Amino acid sequence: MQKTKHIPVLLDEVLESLNVQPGETVVDATLGGGGHFEAMINSISQAKEKTVFIGVDRDKKAIERFKENSKTLSSLKTSKNIEIYLINSNFAELESILMNLKISKVNKILADLGTSQDQLEDEEKGSSIKGESNLDMRMDENSQVSAADLLNGLTEKELVKLFNELADMQGISRRFVKRIIQERAKKPILTTKDLKKLIYQAVPLSTSSRTKSLEARVFQALRIAVNQELYALTRFLPQAFDALSFKGRLAVISFHSGEDRIVKNFFREKVKAGKAREIDKLIEPKELEIAANSRSSSAKMRVLEKTSS
Ligand SMILES: C[S@@+](CC[C@H](N)C(=O)[O-])C[C@H]1O[C@@H](n2cnc3c(N)ncnc32)[C@H](O)[C@@H]1O
């Protein structure tokens, strides 16, 4: 398998705010290309006490790619003090993942939400607006519903709701969904090219940056719906908070306003209840990072520290 092409976002900020120490137990709930995971491991390479790193991803390919290519992993084979577990699972199952590993408390947890560059470039998945491929978008190959299933199977009302809520398309979603309904009555919508054509026909401004970002938002909305990403996040946050030890930290990086809202509200609730404090309200990439990696431009990181046991 090819090496990862994913560039970890807010890397220095993650290392600084999680500040992993020897002897801790650390969960990276979204391993992806493993950039954050490796950097956290390397930040404590001289561990005298047993330090545990758990990398989770619902995409089997991400786990396999990391096992095959990680230099950190192969160089650690001889180190007795660092234990690494790689788990192919949904982070919404964090509690049972930890239970299976017989781990009751965790010091640091990272979730870097959304999709990796490797998934975007995987032509079988059709998650990217570039190129032409089947409208699949499933991160987990065992899940049943693809993007094409949603486009061809949801009712008009359900599709309007999906694009209003997840693609911020109020005002144009009805027109766009009407085109979908007309088109699928003739033949199923199966490829990324079909979908891009429909977006263009509903909002014919193909050269403007507005339509480009509209395409990106439509693709992102479908991917979020296919993978039930907001639901997974809602399930993950309380399990992650429960698993944290006193002074343990949870960092979440999001790329979508719906995700960030869920994280923000959850963190506020914990702070209001006197159970946690927020470390810096909102951390965003600096201009230099955005210039080097445009994908980072929409990243928002929030970090919570548990102040109760
Ligand atoms: C933005 S990438 C993470 C990149 C990673 N931090 C790095 O440095 O390479 C997001 C990853 O999270 C995974 N993912 C998304 N939702 C997930 C979920 N509910 N459970 C487990 N993994 C998930 C995706 O499959 C993807 O590989």
Q: For 34-57, what is each residue's pLDDT tens digit?
A: 999 999 999 986 778 999 999 999
The tens digit of pLDDT for each residue in 229-281 reads 999 999 999 999 999 999 999 999 999 999 999 999 999 999 999 999 999 88
| Pair 108, 237 in one domain | yes
Report helix, strand or coil for 248.
strand
Q: Total domain count for the chain? A: 2
Q: In DSSP terms, which residues pair with 52 in a beta bridge?
A: 25, 83
Residue 27 located in a structural domain: yes
Contact in structure between 8 and 36 (CB atoms under 8 Å)? yes
Give the mutation target among 9, 54, 70, 139 for probing the ligand 1 site: most ligand atoms within 8 A of CB.
Answer: 139
**Per-residue tokens: 183:** 């088109």
Where a domain ends, among 195, 226, 257?
A: 226
| Residue bearing the CA closest to ligand 1, atom 15 | 114
CATH number, position 184 = 1.10.150.170
Q: Residue 5: name the closest of 62, 77, 44 by CA.
A: 62
In terms of domains, do 23 and 108 share one? yes
What burial letters (b/e) apply to 242-262, b meaning 16+ CB within 10 Å? ebbeeebbbbbbbbbebbbeb
Quickly list H helices, the chain.
Answer: 11-18, 35-42, 60-69, 71-75, 94-100, 117-120, 147-153, 156-167, 173-186, 192-202, 209-226, 229-243, 257-272, 287-292
pTM: predicted TM-score of the whole model, two decimal places? 0.95
Same domain for 106 and 17: yes
CA 118/CA 116 separation, integer angstroms? 5
Of 167, 200, 226, which residue constitutes the final position of a domain?
226
Q: Is the CB of 106 under 6 A from ligand 1?
A: no
209 and 238, same domain (yes or no): no
For the domain that residue 86 is a member of, what is the CATH number? 3.40.50.150
pLDDT tens digits, residue range 127-184?
777 778 899 999 998 899 999 999 999 999 999 999 999 998 877 889 999 999 999 9
55 C-beta closer than 6 A to ligand 1: no
Q: Which domain holds residue 154?
A: 144-226
Same domain flag for 26 and 58: yes
Do residue 217 and residue 241 come from a single domain?
A: no
Q: Report the share of the chain in percent with pLDDT over 70.
A: 96
Domain co-membership, 19 together with 110:
yes
| 115 CA distance to ligand 1 middle (Å) | 6
